[in-house]
């Protein structure tokens, strides 16, 4: 199967699963559930859960074990975007080609919708762990599988908190209007962007029983992929447009944010992007043909225009 066909298959699995779990609550017709659905089901690349599913396939794992965690990460990512767009943060009017959550539902409800998605993400993961224990005969193997899922939740929690995404976001806020050093820029994006790209890779690897060598290889892959993703975002903010990207371009310069482009320049940033993409691909060479989708995904992100 071609890369694009497999990507589309993964995307459809994710969309259907997200739709099924969010629809459980929509019968209440509460404004908060409508606000949650508005952003969660707005489409997008679904990169993070697709990474989880792809890693699962690398190890021949059971997708039913992975997808609740994969989609929980997408809920956490969506909550972060809702909050990131608020006037107190980046103050953006458009996301994925349509009005941001707070522009439709108001700031208070947007905050609560983000909070609700974060909490619901952990409900979904805990439900899966509890279901596993309920159906288990508590053999050493079944207990081991439950522990793997708990460890996966820990990875996701760390990536979402002050040692991950939130920690990076704080540095981003504190750095607005300032010229920061390259090492601080790297730290900021390693956490703000990279942590939630690494989490789906590593949580899936843990659930699917990766050994230490395999885990370390995937960790290097994900770290480089996260850096590449952010460098490309910074480049697109300079070269992209609203119609293609679904959000306003040149916003980083308007807000006086330090970016890879502002520190290194456009051409150097493109060189760095190519280098970290190559490093990501090199990290998973040992997987051979099993890692072909992950390799093609890195190249797809290198050449994306949104």
Encode pLDDT of 256-288 as tens digits.
Answer: 788 999 999 999 999 999 999 999 999 999 999
pLDDT of 238-254, one tens digit each? 987 766 555 555 666 67
Task: Report pLDDT for 256.
Answer: 74
Name the least confident of 52-66, 99-113, 246-260.
246-260
What are the start-end ranges of the H helices in the chain? 3-26, 31-40, 47-58, 63-84, 101-105, 107-134, 140-160, 165-175, 182-192, 195-207, 212-239, 242-245, 251-254, 260-264, 266-283, 292-302
pLDDT at residue number 97: 86
From residue 83, give the alpha-carbon distance in Å to each of 65, 92, 138, 303: 29, 10, 41, 28
Residue 222 has what pLDDT? Answer: 98
Q: Domains of the chain (ranges plus CATH)? A: 3-302 (1.10.600.10)
Q: How many CB atoms lie within 10 A of CB 164?
A: 22
Separation of alpha carbons 69 and 17, rounded Å: 11
Contact 112, 59 (CB under 8 A): no
> pLDDT averaged over the chain?
92
CA distance 264 to 301: 20
Q: Give the phi and the psi of residue 194 in degrees, each rounded to 5.
A: -70, -30
Q: What Cα–Cα distance (Å) separates residue 59 from each residue in 28, 163, 185, 291?
A: 40, 28, 34, 10
Q: With contact defined as beta carbons under 8 Å apart, do 66 and 52 qualify?
A: yes
- Residue 300 CA to residue 262 CA, distance in Å, equals 24
Q: What is the pTM of this model?
A: 0.93
Residue 140: predicted pLDDT: 72
Q: Which long-range contacts (CB under 8 A, 24 or more apart) does 251-255 make?
A: 251/90, 251/92, 255/90, 255/176, 255/177
pLDDT at 240: 75
Of residues 187 and 250, more confidence is placed in 187
233, 193 Cβ separation under 8 angstroms: yes
**pLDDT at 28 (0 to 100):** 59
Confidence of residue 104 (pLDDT cuts 50, 70, 90): very high
- Dihedral sign, CA of 302, 82, 118, 7? negative
162 Cβ contact partners less than 8 Å away, ≥ 6 residues apart: 170
- pLDDT tens, position by position, 289-302: 999 999 999 999 99
CB atoms within 10 A of CB 1: 9
**What confidence score (pLDDT) does residue 236 get?**
93
How distant is the alpha carbon of residue 144 from its chain centre?
27
């Amino acid at each position: 199967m071609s890369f694009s066909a497999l990507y589309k298959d993964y995307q459809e699995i994710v969309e259907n699963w997200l739709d099924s779990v969010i629809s459980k609550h929509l019968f209440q017709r509460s404004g908060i559930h409508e606000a949650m659905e508005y952003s969660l089901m707005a489409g997008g690349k679904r990169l993070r859960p697709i990474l989880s599913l792809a890693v699962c396939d690398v190890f021949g794992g059971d997708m039913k074990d992975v997808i609740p965690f994969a989609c929980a990460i997408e809920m956490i990512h969506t909550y972060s975007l809702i909050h990131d767009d608020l006037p107190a943060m980046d103050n953006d009017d458009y996301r994925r080609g349509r009005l941001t959550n707070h522009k439709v539902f108001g700031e208070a409800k947007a905050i609560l919708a983000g909070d609700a998605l974060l909490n619901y993400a952990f409900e979904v993961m805990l439900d899966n762990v509890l279901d596993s224990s309920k159906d288990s005969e508590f053999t050493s193997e079944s207990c081991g599988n439950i522990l793997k899922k708990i460890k996966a939740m820990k990875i996701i929690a760390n990536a979402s908190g002050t040692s991950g995404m939130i920690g990076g976001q704080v540095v981003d806020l504190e750095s607005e209007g300032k010229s920061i050093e390259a090492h601080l820029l790297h730290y900021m994006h390693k956490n703000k962007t990279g942590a939630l790209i690494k989490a789906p890779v590593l949580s899936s690897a843990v659930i699917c029983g990766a050994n230490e060598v395999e885990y370390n290889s995937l960790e290097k892959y994900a770290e480089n992929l996260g850096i590449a993703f952010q460098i490309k975002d910074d480049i697109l903010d300079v070269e992209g447009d609203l119609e293609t990207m679904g959000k306003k371009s040149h916003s980083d310069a308007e807000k006086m944010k330090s970016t890879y482009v502002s520190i290194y320049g456009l051409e150097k940033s493109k060189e760095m992007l190519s280098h970290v993409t190559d490093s990501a691909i090199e990290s998973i060479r040992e997987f051979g043909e099993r890692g072909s989708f992950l390799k093609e995904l890195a190249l797809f992100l290198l050449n994306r225009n949104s």
